[in-house]
Amino acid sequence: MKKAPLLLALLFLCSYAHLHAQRMCGIELTRAALIAKDPSWAQRIEQQRASQQGIADKYKQSLKNGAAQRTATVASPIPVIFHVIVTSAQFNQIGGYAGIQQRIDSQIAVLNRDYNAQNSDSVLIPYGWKTRFASSGIHFGLAHTAPNGWGTPGYELEIIPSTMDGFSGDANDYSDAKHAASGGLDAWDVSKYLNIWCINFTDYNGLLGITVSKSQCGGAGFPFDEEGVCVNYQAFGKRASTHDDYIACGYSTDGAPDYYDLGRTLTHEIGHFFEIWHTWGDDGGACPWSGSDLDDGLADTPPEADHKFYNYPDTIPGGTYYDACHYDGAIDTQLTTYGVASLDYMNYTDDIAMHLFTPDQAAMMAAQVATGGENNTLTQNPTLLNWPANAGVTEQELDHEVGIFPNPTTGALSIGITGISSLQQIAITNILGEQVFTNSEARLHNFYSIDLSAMSKGIYFVRCTFASGSITRKILLQ
């Protein structure tokens, strides 16, 4: 009798599965594209998988030997820039300027929690998996200084014609989205910024994200200026309101729909950016003992036949559930208290079902940003996280405070300045860094009224320059 609710739940999930999108990641597409360019990539890709455990073990040993410190204690957050490329309808669909800002802000918060084992839903991890819940020590922050030195809110926006709609995967890396010449937005220096393109995928139904890592670039691989992540514009950030538009992914056991609305798509894709594989190893359902298959190449993710979708109920006390790789003959390869890694960020389960990286996954990723790692340079540019006005002089060092109201505004803007006036200029720039207003009269005062009603709606930056430094404030024109 106790099995009846579980059976009914499984039947319910299966009956609705076809009505909602199943998670699809494009890492296999990028690998196939590389092999199509040069068949020798097939061997290089397998060598990369075979090297996973060795890299993870070497990093963990270096920590034990005291030869390295944890990334969290020595590395600055990685500057992240979002390139949002959508039609006007899609722009409105995700909430306009305010919606984009909320999504990128919440996404950074999600990444920092997930990559540092601070996610609140970790309480849902079964007790058998508690020892396999790990922090990578990697941190992220929105870039606030653009390559040209102007301030940025952490994203740039390109509104494309409705006839264009989105991008196809002709090269299976969505290269058109990454170049202004083809209607997209150029990458910012990939040695300093983690580039994320938020786009509409016009092919490969169900594709949520696709990643080009550094190991896939150069030579016969992808160009280095295409390194980064493409993510579906409806699947980044964390939901703030029931009215927010996200892609539905299935049904939970209580019959309510699940969505890709917790920011886990980018948690997953950035895992690929740091070179870790899907937990089942993209091996077409094979088990490790069926041949030369190595699954994902890491020892602490149990053998797994194939990807797991949705948010299926756990059936193992303290664990998850079994699949076809449960037994290697008489040996229980998934162990009584474990099961498959359905709760891992590198699986295909719903956002609500993802809770952890394992210690080996965390070590593999941490090795990429450690000294000598392929992504170490991303942690060496902390000033890019600051607004340009704060470089070299902080607001606390200035004898002034700037008040701007109302904010948001529909046009009328008041600027009040306290402190002994040494104001030299007020300048307002748009999100592209273009100056739309300036006031540098011979005599500047402590209160100003500015009319922005003739300007386009969006985000602007008010910069007040004093003899001792500058202060920048972000405003939203509605």
Rg of the chain over Cα atoms, rounded to whole angstroms, equals 24
The reply to whether the predicted model has a pTM over 0.75 is yes
* One-letter amino acid of 189: D
Q: How many CB atoms lie within 10 A of CB 378?
A: 26
> Please, what's the b/e burial string for 6-18 (b: 16 or more CB within 10 A of its CB; e: otherwise)?
eeebeeebeeeee
How far does Cα 318 stand from its chain's mean position?
A: 30
Who's near 75: CB < 8 A, 6+ residues apart? 137, 138, 139, 369, 370, 379
Place of tokens 């983690």: 194
pLDDT in tens, 420-441: 556 778 888 887 677 788 886 6
- Looking at residue 463, its pLDDT comes to 82
Instruction: Give residue 225's pLDDT.
Output: 96
Q: Give the pLDDT confidence score for residue 359 in this predicted structure.
A: 98
Cα–Cα distance for residue pair 365/354, rounded to 1 Å: 18
The confidence score (pLDDT) of residue 438 equals 82
Q: What is the distance, to the nearest Å, from the Cα of residue 389 to the centroid of all Cα atoms in its chain?
A: 27
pLDDT of 8 reads 35
Task: Walk me through the domains of the chain, giving residue ranges and CATH numbers.
Answer: 3-385 (3.40.390.10), 388-477 (2.60.40.1930)
Spatial distance between the Cα atoms of 288 and 295, rounded to a whole number of angstroms: 6
Per-residue pLDDT 10s for the chain (478 aa) are: 333 333 333 333 333 333 456 888 999 999 999 999 999 999 999 999 999 999 999 999 998 887 555 443 446 899 999 999 999 999 999 998 889 989 999 999 999 999 999 999 999 999 999 999 999 999 999 998 989 888 888 999 899 999 998 898 877 779 999 999 999 999 999 999 999 999 999 988 789 999 999 999 998 899 999 999 999 999 999 999 999 999 998 766 666 778 999 999 999 999 999 999 999 999 888 998 887 667 999 999 999 999 999 998 999 999 999 999 999 888 898 988 899 999 999 999 999 999 999 999 999 999 999 999 999 999 999 999 988 754 333 343 455 577 787 888 888 888 877 765 567 788 888 876 777 888 866 456 677 888 898 988 888 888 887 766 677 888 888 8
> What is the per-residue pLDDT for 254?
64
HEC string of the chain?
A: CCHHHHHHHHHHHHHHHHHCCCCEECHHHHHHHHHHHCCCHHHHHHHHHHCHHHHHHHHHHHHHCCCCCCHHHHCCCEEEEEEEEECHHHHHHCCHHHHHHHHHHHHHHHHHHHCCCCCHHHHHCCHHHHHHCCCCCCCEEECCECCCCCECCCEEEEECCCCCCCECCCCCCCHHHHCHHHCCCCCCCCCCCEEEEEECECCCCCEEEEEECHHHECCCCECHHHCEEEEECCCCCECCCCCCCCCEEEECCCCCEEECCECHHHHHHHHHHCCCCCCCCCCCCCCHHHCCCCCCCCCCCCCCCCCCCCCCCCCCCCCCCCCCCCEECCEECCCCCCCCCCCECCCCCCHHHCCECCHHHHHHHHHHHCCCCCCHHHHCCHHHHCCHHHCCCCHHHCCCEEEEECCCECCEEEEEEECCCCEEEEEEEECCCCEEEEECCCCCCCEEEEECCCCCCEEEEEEEEECCEEEEEEEEEC
